[in-house]
Amino acid sequence: MKRNQLLKESEWWVEEAIITEAQRERLLEHYPEKQYKPVLLTFAALFIGLGFLTFTASNWSYLADWGRMAVLLLSMSAFYVAGERVYKKKSPRVGSSLILTALLIFGAAIFLIGQMYHYTAFSASPFLLWSMAAAGLYFIMREGMFYYAAAVIITVGQVYSGLVFQDFYLWLGFLLLAGLGWVVYEKRSLPFAGVFAASYYIQALVLVFSGGYPYYWLIVVSMALYIADDFIIQKGQTRIWKTSAVVFMFAVFFLQIFFLGDGYAETLTESSLYFFLIWAVLFVFAVVRSALSTTNYYWIDLLLFIPVFRFPSGDLFSLIVLFFYAVLWLVSGYQQEVRRWVNKGTAAFLLTTLAAYFQLAWDFMDRSVFFFVGGLLLFGLSYGLEKKRRSFRKEGEEE
């Protein structure tokens, strides 16, 4: 109860002789008047700090090395201390943004000092240190902002490692899996899991393409996240890791339709023994899980983890699998009357048709005819699907 409210109410309590005046005063002592410290002051500090930083940035080349060191160290510490104070006493939000500024100064300082003192990095290790600081802040403060900061720094560092060193930096991957993965496991937060998944796939792409591994390792990587979803599941929540794995694999299949032409598939068949070993273990595990689950339809998702590249004319095979996938979700959606499945099947069906059309008709049709016919085809298709969906929805409402 607020003090003002209590002040009014207790007056009445005394009049009604529920409590005495002395008791009233003692009660009010427990609700001290709030000290409204101006948030403006904090913003003023923030602006002064940022002004100072931009000023030094523009005069950077005139400063001696020790002067630069002093500027970096002092501004970083000042933002950290101010942030901690404000966080505790006034506004957690403003406080954590001050701390975030300090974290950014720390990152900038690593690179600037590295440049000042001619350090050469052989890997993305500056990003590792920086993201460790961010993750450390999260574990101490438990503020989501620092989780996101850590995820962004880790991801950017990994992409940097891939682009500059053509190398996957193992420790950043480890920090994501063990550090942030643990947070997701512990907190079961949907946005945390989503950000984790985004970083996971970006890093997987870096791993596969900079390490020179065949693309099919992505199947195993996304299947691992698909299965891991079972460990962070929470009732009533979107299964974001499963969904992301399915979307990712759908995209992979979509590209396979165009790239798994004749000739390419054969080059992939070497050295895939380990892949099939891991794949088989995960796949069996996934099948068992889906067989044990209460809904008997999740096995349809597993179609997307079929390693089609192993078969001759994998492009056609990808197309067939995608059509099966779409139709199975459509059919079981109608049967079980689950609107979400119907929507999923519809989207998959439209995209697959589009891919098939592009793949089959692009080469031998006149361009204008191609688009014209394609438009008509999509129009007819969406009309049919929409009609079916509406009648289905009506039935659902009537029941």
Partner 1 sequence: MNKQRWFYGLVSVQALFLLLMAGGYYAMDVVGEKVVLKTAPVDPRDPFYGDYVELGYDIEEISEDQWQGEKALDGGEKVFLLLEAGENGVYGLQKAGTERPDSEEGQVVLAARYLWEDERASIHHVDIGLNRYYIEENTGRMWEQDEERLVTIVLAPWNQKKIVSLD
Over the Cα atoms of the chain, what is R_g? 29
Name the residue nearer to partner 1 (CB basis): 120 or 267. 120
User: From the CB of 113, what's the least distance to partner 1, in Å?
Assistant: 5
Q: What part of residues 213-232 is at the interface with partner 1 (CB under 8 A)?
A: none
Map residues 102-141 to x or -, x wherever contact with partner 1 holds by CB under 8 A: x---x--xx--xxxxxxxx-x------x---x--xx--xx
Is residue 173 within 8 A of residue 203, CB to CB? The reply is: yes
Binding of partner 1 by 84 (CB under 8 A)? yes
Q: Which is nearer to partner 1, 73 or 361 (CB)?
A: 73
Stretch that binds partner 1, among 80-88, 215-223, 273-281, 345-353 (CB under 8 A): 80-88
Measured from the CB of residue 262, what is the shortest distance to partner 1 in angstroms?
31
Residues 155-174, mask of contacts with partner 1 (x by CB under 8 A): ----------xxx-------
User: Residues 356 to 375: which contact partner 1 by CB under 8 A?
Assistant: none
The yes or no reply on residue 80 touching partner 1 (CB under 8 A) is yes
The reply to whether 72 sits near partner 1 by the rule CB under 8 A is: yes
Among 14, 27, 28, 69, binds partner 1 (CB under 8 A): 69
Residues 159 and 153: their CA atoms lie apart, in Å, by 10
- At 155, list the tokens: 């991801």
In single-letter form, the type of residue at position 111 comes to: F
CB of 60 to partner 1, least distance (A): 10
Stretch that binds partner 1, among 22-30, 72-80, 89-97, 302-310 (CB under 8 A): 72-80
Number of residues located near partner 1, criterion CB under 8 A: 33
Site string for partner 1, 11-50 (x = CB under 8 A): ----------------------------------------
Positions in the binding site for partner 1 (CB under 8 A): 61, 65, 69, 72-73, 76-77, 80-81, 84, 88, 102, 106, 109-110, 113-120, 122, 129, 133, 136-137, 140-141, 165-167
